[in-house]
Amino acid sequence: MEHGTGQVAKILIFAGLVLVAAGFVLWMLPKWGGFKSLPGDIVIKKENFTFYFPLGTSILVSVLLTLLMYLWRKFGG
Q: Map out the domains of the chain as residue ranges.
A: 1-33, 36-77
Q: Which residues of 4-31 are buried (b: 16+ CB within 10 A; e: fewer)?
A: eeeeeeeeeebeeeeeeeeeeeeeeeee
Residue 1 pLDDT > 70, yes or no?
no
What does the pLDDT look like over 9-44, one tens digit per residue? 888 888 888 888 888 877 776 676 655 677 888 889
What does the pLDDT look like over 40-71, one tens digit per residue? 888 899 999 999 888 888 888 899 889 988 88
Measured CA distances, 62 to 17, 20, 58, 67 (Å): 18, 19, 6, 9
Checking DSSP bridges between strand 50-53 and strand 42-45, what pairing results, if any? antiparallel
